[in-house]
Amino acid sequence: MFGRGSRTNKQDMHRELFKKQQQVQQVYQKRLSGKNINALNTFLSSGKQPGSAEFFKLHPLVQEVVLKLNLTSIDVMAKHTRNPIKKGVFLLQKAMFKRLARGNQKKRTPKKKKK
């Protein structure tokens, strides 16, 4: 049934996850400077989570990229899981990351000066 040529659901999920993350990185690659790219790579390789103290020390654009990468990975994992409890967990995580992203965008918008 599972010969050498067949792929499992897990392999499909990893392949799709990698493809989606590459697309997100290509979109933001033009907007990031060299210093921000290094900060992004360091943060991703360190294994720290969004919402941690190290995350909030990053540039707002780098924070946006990290949140976008996490949202795409949660979408892909929720799409490929069959367990309804896990799907609920993914929905909660997605809502939390969206809330973090909304808060991040509020910080980035310049405040109007009162006259």
- pTM summary value: 0.73
The mean pLDDT value for 86-98 works out to 89
Contact 32, 40 (CB under 8 A): yes
Residue 94 in this model has a pLDDT that exceeds 50: yes
Nearest to 88 by CA among 102, 74, 100, 99: 74
pLDDT tens-place string over residues 20-47: 988 888 888 888 888 998 998 899 889 8
Contact 28, 62 (CB under 8 A): no
Domain coordinates of the chain in residue numbers?
A: 10-107
Strand, coil or helix: what is 16? helix
The mean pLDDT value for 77-90 works out to 90
Residue 19 in this model has a pLDDT that exceeds 50: yes
